[in-house]
Amino acid sequence: MNILEAVFLGAVEGLTEFLPISSTGHLTILESLLGYSPDDADITAFTAIIQIGAVLATLLYFRGDFARLIGAWLRGLFRREFRDDLDYRQAWAVGLGAIPIGIVGLLFKDQIETTLRSLWYVGSALILWSGVMYFADRTAAQTRSEKEVTWKDTLVIGLAQCLALIPGVSRSGATMSAGLLRGLDRVTVTKLSFFLSVPALAAAGGLQLVDEYDTITEGVGWTATLTATAVSFIVAYVAVAWLLKFVAKHTYTVFIGYRVVLGVIVLALVATGTVSAS
């Protein structure tokens, strides 16, 4: 992979990771258009590893929140009097919410990296999950704030995050929709989506980095992979800041419309043979 392609794909990853439009879906589409096979081991690993840039951007942007939650968790872990602290309970809640996707991801690793990479699945998921997002966006009560988040909320949101293993669904789209249906406001569910993304994306990227190190070396190359990761970090940091401001005043309508249009285009390209499904 040349550097220009790496920069382009890294920018797309950083931009789409936290928007509810599916970063993996976009990368799968673009990798296919660039002539790569999305289910090749080195491309699959590349797609997962460059997400680490988005993870680092999240950690940097929310460094105060993560430091507060981790500090509260450590205090409560060793001293009983701190266990009624809201931050202690929320730290446990976020940790619990991150577990389901790890289990499901390991159980269905082969299917996720091969069968589900088909553009038929990507296009269909973009369209079908848009209906769920529309329903959640229009019926959400938004009566609960960040201080009212419970372990039940994060567990439900964490289970919904598992659906994002299907390219095209969108991890943020799944978690935000689940949070809205639980009555949480848009800013709260967006922040929770960011928090839950850290262990999920870090684990996926780290696993691929260790398992497919030699595959990357012989395929895409580490220069391209590290370049894309660095670009995704920069772009994701800007995207996080923008999205938080956007959802405070707007619905998800623009994202839903974009998903449907993109999904239709992808299915049309595959159906006409313009682009290969895999």
pLDDT above 90 (res 248): no
pLDDT above 90 (res 276): no
pLDDT above 70 (res 236): yes
- Return the structure tokens found at 49: 């590893």
Cβ density class 123-160: b for 16+ within 10 Å, e for less:
bbbbbebbebbbebbeebeeebeeeebebebbbbbbbb
Beta-sheet strands, E only, within 23-175: none
**Average pLDDT score over the chain:** 87
Whole-structure pTM value:
0.84
pLDDT of residue 210: 85
Position of tokens 């567990």? 155
Using CA atoms, how far apart are residues 14 and 234, in angstroms rounded to an integer? 7
Amino acid identity for residue 91 in this structure: A
pLDDT of residue 5: 94
pLDDT of residue 113: 66
pLDDT above 80 (res 117): no
Q: Using an 8 Å Cβ cutoff, are 26 and 173 in contact?
A: no
% of the chain at pLDDT higher than 90 = 29
3-state secondary structure of 184: strand
Cβ density class 20-57: b for 16+ within 10 Å, e for less:
bbbbbbbbbbbbbeeebebbbbbbbbbbbbbbbbbbbb
pLDDT above 90 (res 231): yes
pLDDT of residue 140: 84
pLDDT of residue 60: 92
Summarize the confidence of residues 61-77 as an average pLDDT. 89
Summarize the confidence of residues 89-112 as an average pLDDT. 79
Cβ density class 182-214: b for 16+ within 10 Å, e for less:
bebbbbbbbbbbbbbbbbbbbbbbebbeeebee
pLDDT digits (tens, 9 = 90+) for 170-227: 888 888 899 999 999 888 888 888 888 888 888 888 888 888 889 999 999 999 999 9
Q: Using an 8 Å Cβ cutoff, are 125 and 25 in contact?
A: yes
Summarize the confidence of residues 17-24 as an average pLDDT. 86
pLDDT of residue 246: 87
- Return the structure tokens found at 48: 């997962």
% of the chain at pLDDT higher than 70 = 98
pLDDT digits (tens, 9 = 90+) for 137-167: 888 888 888 888 888 888 888 888 888 888 8
Amino acid identity for residue 130 in this structure: S
pLDDT of residue 238: 93
